């Protein structure tokens, strides 16, 4: 962990916002070049070696400073993944978000947190249960995370407003969505925390919500689903939580109510059963912190010189398909070191030919 000066913070932001640089590529570039500024300087040549004829779009210094100034005007704080204030729970994700904006109580995002999510068209009983559950978990010392959506999310925020609640946004921290939760948004900004990895001023789009859900689950020790249909964002959040090694909880409901089918399905798959707050506390109190390593060493990885000894993007591209495959398998098939293959895949990703999807997996675009 380290502190960034103003220039380093600006470069970190520019690299995170650069075209074709997702979280996996970002982590590799920092590990390879050690500093965001050096990675930025290398981007055009890396993309060219990957087969791109035009350099990827990189935000200018002025554009990055504009976003930083906009955040400062809101009273929000940008926290880079390498900084001590970055929550450990997010830092151990594979891959972690490179940075987050936080509006409100920065300390809250590093507390013991639990997410409560569910149907937007919640029943009155479901909303009341979520509100009561959030209040009881707050009284027991847990912060409550949700996505500021209508229904269950909003009820959970309301129940934990006095004890500590975090709203994770799909857009920027200044993008109030849905608009009818504007009053709740303001209350959370004053008493809790608003979090987003998106730029200030970014309006939420459909593709942003899965990434939002990944941060919701990633911040927490566990995710509780209260009312959710089988095809819903809440079940995506629960799946992400399981992949991240977090606990998954579900509140049972009537089989006659479509809003209960998702939670009931999770229970059949082995989710923790929840009838009251104590059911959650019995599980989470036994693991008061994330039982994982201390966080990512952003300086770990091969040096730029080591990685550039061998570049074989064309050969690697031939081995890729739209089906995700482990990078180690590509290295074995190519008969070259994994570090060299990873470097080639980064070049292909910057050129728009491949996508690194976490868990050491890659697929062809």
How sure is the predictor about 297, in pLDDT bands with cuts at 50, 70 and 90?
Answer: low
Find tokens 């409901």 and name the residue: 253
Output phi, psi for 301, to 5 deg: 125, 175
Question: pLDDT tens across 138-157, in order?
Answer: 999 999 999 999 999 999 99
CATH number at residue 342: 1.10.10.10
Of 37 and 359, the structure prediction assigns the larger pLDDT to 37
% of the chain with per-residue pLDDT over 90: 74
Of 151 and 361, the structure prediction assigns the larger pLDDT to 151
CATH number at residue 162: 3.40.50.450
Considering the domain architecture, whether residues 271 and 327 belong to the same structural domain is answered as no
94 lies in a domain?
Answer: no
Beta strand 113-118 pairing with 99-104: unpaired
pLDDT of residue 290: 52
Summarize the confidence of residues 267-296 as an average pLDDT: 81
Considering the domain architecture, whether residues 110 and 59 belong to the same structural domain is answered as no
How sure is the predictor about 95, in pLDDT bands with cuts at 50, 70 and 90?
Answer: confident
| Domain endpoint, select from 236, 251, 284 | 284
Angle (deg, nearest 10), helices 36-49 and 338-350: 80
**CA distance linking residue 92 with residue 201, whole number of Å:** 28
Considering the domain architecture, whether residues 312 and 272 belong to the same structural domain is answered as no
Average pLDDT taken over every residue of the chain: 91
How sure is the predictor about 77, in pLDDT bands with cuts at 50, 70 and 90?
Answer: very high
Find tokens 């909003």 and name the residue: 154
Question: pLDDT tens across 13-35, in order?
Answer: 999 999 999 998 999 999 999 99
295 lies in a domain?
Answer: no
CB 37 within 8 A of CB 331: no
Considering the domain architecture, whether residues 353 and 259 belong to the same structural domain is answered as no
**CA distance linking residue 194 with residue 214, whole number of Å:** 15
**CA distance linking residue 58 with residue 69, whole number of Å:** 18
Provide the number of structural domains found in the chain: 2
174 lies in a domain?
Answer: yes
Considering the domain architecture, whether residues 184 and 226 belong to the same structural domain is answered as yes
Summarize the confidence of residues 38-63 as an average pLDDT: 93
Q: Examine the pLDDT at 293 and tell me if it is beyond 70.
A: no
Listed in sequence order, the DSSP H helices in 160-287 are 182-191, 208-218, 233-243, 261-268, 277-284
pLDDT of residue 75: 97
pLDDT of residue 231: 87
Query: Residue 326 forms beta bridges with which residues?
Result: 361
pLDDT of residue 89: 94
Q: Examine the pLDDT at 358 and tell me if it is beyond 90.
A: no
296 lies in a domain?
Answer: no
Q: Residue 305: is it exposed, middle or buried by C-beta count within 10 angstroms (0-12/13-18/19+)? A: exposed
pTM (predicted TM-score):
0.89
Considering the domain architecture, whether residues 177 and 273 belong to the same structural domain is answered as yes
Domain interval for residue 47: 6-74+305-364
Query: Which tokens hold the place of 289?
Result: 């912190």
% of the chain with per-residue pLDDT over 70: 93
Q: Examine the pLDDT at 254 and tell me if it is beyond 50.
A: yes
Considering the domain architecture, whether residues 59 and 124 belong to the same structural domain is answered as no
112 lies in a domain?
Answer: yes
Considering the domain architecture, whether residues 239 and 143 belong to the same structural domain is answered as yes
Considering the domain architecture, whether residues 181 and 273 belong to the same structural domain is answered as yes
Considering the domain architecture, whether residues 117 and 259 belong to the same structural domain is answered as yes
Considering the domain architecture, whether residues 260 and 347 belong to the same structural domain is answered as no
Question: pLDDT tens across 160-178, in order?
Answer: 999 999 999 999 999 999 9
324 lies in a domain?
Answer: yes
Which of 47-56, 230-239, 281-290 has the weakest average pLDDT? 281-290
Considering the domain architecture, whether residues 66 and 146 belong to the same structural domain is answered as no
314 lies in a domain?
Answer: yes
Question: pLDDT tens across 196-237, in order?
Answer: 999 999 999 999 999 999 999 999 999 999 999 988 999 999
Question: pLDDT tens across 302-345, in order?
Answer: 544 444 544 588 889 888 999 999 989 988 888 888 888 888 99
């Amino acid at each position: 962990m380290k502190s960034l000066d103003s220039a380093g913070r600006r470069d970190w932001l520019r690299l995170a916002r650069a075209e074709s640089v997702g979280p996996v590529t970002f982590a590799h570039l920092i590990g390879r070049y050690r500093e965001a500024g050096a990675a930025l300087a290398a981007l055009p040549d890396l993309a060219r070696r990957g087969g791109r004829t035009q350099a990827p779009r990189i935000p200018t210094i002025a554009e990055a400073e504009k976003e930083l100034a906009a955040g400062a005007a809101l009273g929000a704080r940008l926290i880079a993944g390498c900084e001590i204030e970055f929550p450990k729970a997010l830092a151990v994700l594979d891959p972690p978000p490179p940075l987050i904006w936080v509006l409100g109580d920065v300390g809250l995002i590093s507390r013991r947190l639990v997410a409560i999510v569910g149907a937007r068209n919640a029943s009155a009983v479901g909303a009341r249960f979520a509100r009561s559950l959030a209040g009881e978990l707050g009284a027991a010392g847990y912060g409550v995370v949700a996505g500021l959506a209508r229904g269950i999310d909003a009820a959970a925020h309301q129940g934990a407003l006095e004890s500590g609640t975090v709203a994770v946004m799909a857009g920027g921290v200044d993008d109030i969505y849905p608009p009818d939760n504007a009053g709740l948004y303001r209350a959370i900004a004053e008493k809790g925390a608003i979090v987003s990895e998106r730029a200030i001023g970014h309006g939420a789009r459909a593709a942003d919500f899965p990434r939002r859900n990944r941060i919701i689950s990633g911040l927490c020790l566990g995710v509780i689903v209260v009312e959710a249909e089988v095809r819903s964002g809440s079940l995506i959040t629960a799946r992400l939580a399981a992949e991240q090694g977090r606990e998954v909880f579900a509140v049972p409901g009537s089989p006659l109510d479509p809003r209960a089918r998702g939670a009931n399905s999770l229970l059949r798959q082995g989710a923790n059963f929840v009838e009251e707050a104590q059911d959650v506390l019995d599980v989470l109190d036994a693991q008061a912190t994330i039982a994982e390593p201390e966080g990512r060493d952003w300086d770990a990885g091969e040096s730029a010189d080591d990685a550039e000894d061998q570049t074989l993007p064309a050969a690697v591209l031939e081995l890729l398909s739209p089906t995700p495959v482990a990078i180690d398998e590509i290295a074995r098939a190519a008969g070259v070191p994994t570090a060299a293959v990873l470097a080639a895949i980064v070049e292909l990703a910057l050129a728009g030919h491949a996508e690194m999807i976490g868990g050491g997996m890659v697929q062809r675009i």
